[in-house]
Structure 1
Amino acid sequence: MIKLIVSDLDGTLMNHARQIEKRDLDAIESALNEDLELCIASGRMYSEIKMIMQQLTERYYAIGQNGATVYNKEIELLASYVFEPEVSSRVLQTTRSFEQFVNFIHCTDDTFYIRKRTEASLSYENRILTACTERGDVETALANNEMRCSKISFFGELNHLMQMKNELNDLFTGAIETFISDKDCLDVMPLNVSKGVGLSLLMSKLGLHPSEVACIGDSFNDLSMFAITEHSYAMSSSHAEIKQKASYTVQSVAEAIDHILTYNRSLQQ
């Protein structure tokens, strides 16, 4: 019996207009009415998750920043993970030469920073729903542990991001995790931090077996969740590799939830 539904936001539950379709909201309400729980798992900060989910009156669990923060339904922080100060500082120093990318430094308190605001950075800032702070001494602040960095995001052309991803993995082997989280975004995370790790912690807190959890997602940062449950749903617009790793492919969250509820009802017959 599936007891927890975990959904990604961007490209999954949330459309390109930053809206949740009524059919998906109705499906979530139906699942909650049948005593299932909901968890939102996103690369976004928890403050953004709350803004996007305002349409939902029921409470939910949340995994933010690709697993760097985990919250219960009472909005209590269950866990948070950050880089070692020297690692985050070195990542930024190393990537200074990649001038074609816009990058943001995220902290577990949901603040985020940029070295210097530019015309190129503004469009990416607008995709993040909370205010960004300009800070020219960010590497020094990280090295001195004045800021507790939980995620570093780079925005740019996908092929170039993939090249940088490979270079960072070679330079920081055993120190970082990297995920392509959107068509133009690379997220660099602390070692052993992912949505899957955050979900595993939540499952442990709730006493759930992997067979009691279903995950819905569309990007590479969702694969760590797919790996720990047999009930995984990839959006039809996902990359072929993501669909290959999922148990099912669906057009919408509503379709996935309908499949989940049908599965649960079949076990009750």
Structure 2
Amino acid sequence: MIKLIVSDLDGTLLDHTRRINDRDLQAVKTAIGDGFEFCIASGRMYSEINIIMQEFNSCYHAIGQNGATIHKKETGYLASSVFDAGTASRILQLTNKYDHFINFVHCTDDSFYIKKRTDVTHPYEARIMTACTERVDLKEAIRAEEIRCCKLSYFGELEQLIQLKSELNSQFEGEIETFISDKDCLDVMPLRVSKGAGLTLLIKELGLSPNEVACIGDSFNDLSMFAVTEHSFAMGGSHIDIRNQASAVVPSVAEAINQIISYNRSFIKG
């Protein structure tokens, strides 16, 4: 039987206005009310997840920043991961030569930084639900471990981000993980940090097995979760490569939850 349901946020549980529609909202409430464990797994910070999910009164686990932070619903903080300071500062040194990307530095305490705020950066800052801090000496602060970085996000044109992803993977092979997490965003993570790795740790902590988990997502950073369990649902509007790696394709989180509930009923009857 499936006991834990895991959902991505942007493009999955959230619509383009960053809201949960009524049908999905009711489906999640029904699942929690029926005794399912529920988890949000997002590239967003834990503080943002709490803002979005405030109606659920902390009745959910949270995997934030692509697995860099993990929180249990009952006890809070479970685990976190950060970059080696030298690796993060070298990544910034390499990418500083590009002026066509907007770059944010994220930390496990949910603070995030940008080297210089401008009119161009403001729309990207607005997509994040907490305040950004300007710091011109970002690279030096990271190298000195004044800032403990857990995620580097780059915003820009998709084709250019794909090229940057390839360059970073070549230059930092065996040191980082990279994900296209949105149509205009590349996330760079410490090695072996991903939503799937975070989910694996949470599964162990909850005493579950992988076949008792179902996950729902729409982006490449969700594929590591799909690899953890045979019960994976891709959103209908997601990239073909994502849909091809899911066990089912659905139009909504509500439909995925309906299928999960039906699966459990048939499991009991069987």
**TM norm. shorter chain > 0.5:** yes
User: Is residue 110 of structure 1 aligned with residue 84 of structure 2?
Assistant: no
Conservation of the 8 A alpha-carbon contact between 2:58 and 2:73: no
Q: Distance in 1 between matches of 2:212 and 2:268?
A: 14
Q: Distance in 2 between matches of 1:184 and 1:158?
A: 5
Deviation at 1:56, TM superposition (A): 2.2
Name the residue aligned to 2:245. 245
Mapping of residues 16-165 of structure 1, within 5 Å: 16-57=16-57, 59-74=59-74, 76-165=76-165
Name the residue aligned to 1:208. 208
Q: Distance in 2 between matches of 1:175 and 1:200?
A: 20
Conservation of the 8 A alpha-carbon contact between 2:196 and 2:228: yes
Q: Distance in 1 between matches of 2:192 and 2:97?
A: 26
Deviation at 1:234, TM superposition (A): 0.2
Q: Distance in 2 between matches of 1:51 and 1:36?
A: 22
Q: Distance in 2 between matches of 1:266 and 1:75?
A: 33
Q: Distance in 2 between matches of 1:243 and 1:25?
A: 23
AA aligned to 2:18 is R
Q: Is there any run of 5+ residues in structure 1 with no aligned partner, and where?
A: none
Q: Distance in 1 between matches of 2:75 and 2:153?
A: 25
Q: Distance in 2 between matches of 1:80 and 1:128?
A: 20
Conservation of the 8 A alpha-carbon contact between 1:43 and 1:181: yes
CA pair 187-110 structure 1, distance change in 2 beyond 3 A: same
Name the residue aligned to 2:194. 194
Deviation at 1:25, TM superposition (A): 1.1
Corresponding residue SS for 1:186: strand
> What fraction of aligned residue pairs are identical, expressed as a percent?
62
AA aligned to 2:138 is V
AA aligned to 1:47 is S
Deviations 1:145-186 (A, max 9, x none): 111100000000000000000000000001110000000000
Deviation at 1:119, TM superposition (A): 1.3
Deviation at 1:75, TM superposition (A): 5.3
AA aligned to 2:228 is I
The two structures have a TM-score, normalised by structure 1, of: 0.99
Corresponding residue SS for 1:242: helix
The two structures have a TM-score, normalised by structure 2, of: 0.98
AA aligned to 2:213 is V
Corresponding residue SS for 1:2: coil
Superposition RMSD in Å: 0.8
Corresponding residue SS for 1:188: strand
Conservation of the 8 A alpha-carbon contact between 1:6 and 1:214: yes
Conservation of the 8 A alpha-carbon contact between 1:25 and 1:56: no
Name the residue aligned to 2:183. 183
Q: Distance in 2 between matches of 1:29 and 1:118?
A: 41
Deviation at 1:29, TM superposition (A): 1.3
Corresponding residue SS for 1:120: coil
Deviations 1:42-84 (A, max 9, x none): 0000000000111223510000000000000035210000000
Conservation of the 8 A alpha-carbon contact between 1:156 and 1:185: yes
Q: Distance in 2 between matches of 1:264 and 1:32?
A: 14
Q: Distance in 1 between matches of 2:60 and 2:79?
A: 16
Q: Distance in 1 between matches of 2:178 and 2:118?
A: 25
Name the residue aligned to 2:220. 220
CA pair 75-157 structure 1, distance change in 2 beyond 3 A: farther
Corresponding residue SS for 1:9: coil
